[in-house]
Amino acid sequence: MNTPHGVWLDDLTWQEATSRFAANAVAVIPAASGSDLPAHLPLKTPAVIVRALAQKLVEVLDLVVAPVIEAEGPALTAQIGKLRRLGARRLAVLELRLWAGTPCQVSGDVLMLRVFERSDADEFVTSCMMALDPRSVRMPLLPAGSRSEAFAGERGMAAEIQAVADTLVSKWPDLVCR
């Protein structure tokens, strides 16, 4: 098992969080939404996937990841405000939006990292859930001819994380773990 480089905000005390942000830590907010899920996927699908992606970021980069939030409504604005009150100056949103809805809107100083903007969203998201939580996929309800498979989900998520990590490091080069 890899030793994490980053940390989840919930695992820190108030003092530890303010200390990390005083040292210029990058805060990442995982935001998920998906209102038009196929019948074979549970409602938790967007949250499960974005949390897994955020966990992979914790394992490879020195950053602070906030709890997963719902991308719609005031939750994102509230989370950004909370992190700013803790002293965060470098913020990014890891947005997973499945199928419908308007992308999150944030101030220009917050880096937006949108994942899974794909034409094969149904197959890909199903593959991700087969990799992360296979028992939650309602296999009898899969569309005929589905090519979803756990391996494709694992590979796709790894590619998404590499792209997100590269974007974060290009914005903030000090995130590179030694």
Whether 60 is covered by a domain: the verdict is: yes
| CB count in 10 Å sphere of residue 66 | 24
Q: Which domain holds residue 139?
A: 7-173
Q: Is the pLDDT of residue 123 over 90?
A: no
Whether 163 is covered by a domain: the verdict is: yes
Which 3 state secondary structure label does DSSP give 53? helix
Whether 87 is covered by a domain: the verdict is: yes
Q: Which residues contact 139 (CB under 8 A, 6 or more apart)?
A: 40
Whether 160 is covered by a domain: the verdict is: yes
Residues 86-104 pLDDT 10s: 999 999 999 987 765 566 6
Q: What is the CATH number of the domain that holds 43?
A: 3.40.50.10310
Q: Is the pLDDT of residue 178 over 50?
A: no
Give the separation between CA 44 and CA 93, rounded to whole angstroms: 19
Across-strand partners of 93? Answer: 29, 112
Whether 164 is covered by a domain: the verdict is: yes
The predicted structure's pLDDT at residue 119: 65
Give the separation between CA 98 and CA 96, rounded to whole angstroms: 6
Whether 178 is covered by a domain: the verdict is: no
Whether 38 is covered by a domain: the verdict is: yes
Asked if 57 and 94 count as a contact pair (C-beta separation under 8 A), the reply is yes
In the block, which residue shows the tokens 């949103």?
93
**Full-model pTM:** 0.90
Whether 81 is covered by a domain: the verdict is: yes
Total of domains in the chain: 1
